[in-house]
Amino acid sequence: MDIKLNFINLSNDVNNSQVVIFQKNVSTDFDELAVAWKVISNCGRGANHPFMFPMATTVTASDSDGNYMPQKAAQTGQLFAVTRSHSGNVLAAAGGATTSREVQVRNDLGAGAINASIFKDGRLLSTKTGIAPGQKAVFEFKPTLWIGTASQVEEGRLMNSAVLSDINTEITLLGIASADIVMTGGGGGTAAVPYRFELTNIVMG
């Protein structure tokens, strides 16, 4: 079931901060950079920004020839493989992943690295680059969102470690059907306080 979320700015923000929302791929090393899945810009005090967090996930791959393969619906526990067919390189389901918590993408080409990407709501959620033949990318996400303020962040792009280290609010979506995400804090000068993000008006699914 898709989760209806509504961001509400009740902060004292004086810098017109961007709000960035993303997930972390927990199956990989800790230092992996995350993608800015959704960026909320120019949402003034008292304004709100509704959006959906869908359960549906899609996977895609690109190859070293610069080809991008069509997105495929992906469930956790599925394995996909990039292989050479009569028409060229294709991405197809290839049975079960080695663990039920992950979506996995394997490079079954004879030569050439691939990139694998996960999308939600048509927006890039996570990506792995330079997957050599015989290797696979693994994607696993907890039912949580990370949220924080940033500047000069682009939706669908990797965020640098300095931005990521400043964002430490993790919101659980487990069992939630809809909720408001309320931002408070901010301000200028000596009165400034850290931003806070809290779920309110929670409706369980």
Task: Tell which of 98, 117, 138 closes a domain.
Answer: 138
Pair (44, 21) in one structural domain: yes
pLDDT at 32: 76
CA distance 154 to 163: 12
Nearest to 97 by CA among 137, 62, 141: 137
Judge if 50 and 100 occupy the same domain.
no
Residues 175 and 74 in one domain: no
Is the domain of 28 the same as that of 80?
A: no
Q: Domain range for residue 117?
A: 57-138
Residue 189, pLDDT score: 86
pLDDT at 191: 84
Radius of gyration of the chain (CA): 19
Q: Are 153 and 160 in contact (CB under 8 A)?
A: no
Are both 82 and 15 inside the same structural domain? no
Domain count for the chain, please give it. Answer: 2
pLDDT tens for each residue of the chain, 205 residues long: 899 999 999 999 888 999 999 999 998 765 678 999 999 999 999 999 999 999 999 999 999 999 999 999 999 999 999 999 999 999 999 999 999 999 999 999 999 999 999 999 999 999 999 999 999 999 999 999 999 999 889 999 999 999 999 999 999 999 999 999 999 999 888 888 999 999 999 999 8
Confirm if 40 and 13 have CB atoms less than 8 A apart: no
Which residue among 84, 116, 138 closes a domain?
138
Token pair 């200028």 is found at 188
CATH number for the domain that contains residue 173: 2.60.40
What is the full DSSP assignment across 138-197? EE---SEEEEEEESS--TTSBPPHHHHHT--EEEE-TTEEEEEEEEEEE-SGGG-EEEEE
Query: How confident is the model at residue 122, as a pLDDT?
Result: 94
Measure CA of the first residue to CA of the last residue in the chain; give whole Å: 8
Residue at which a domain ends, from 138, 172, 193: 138
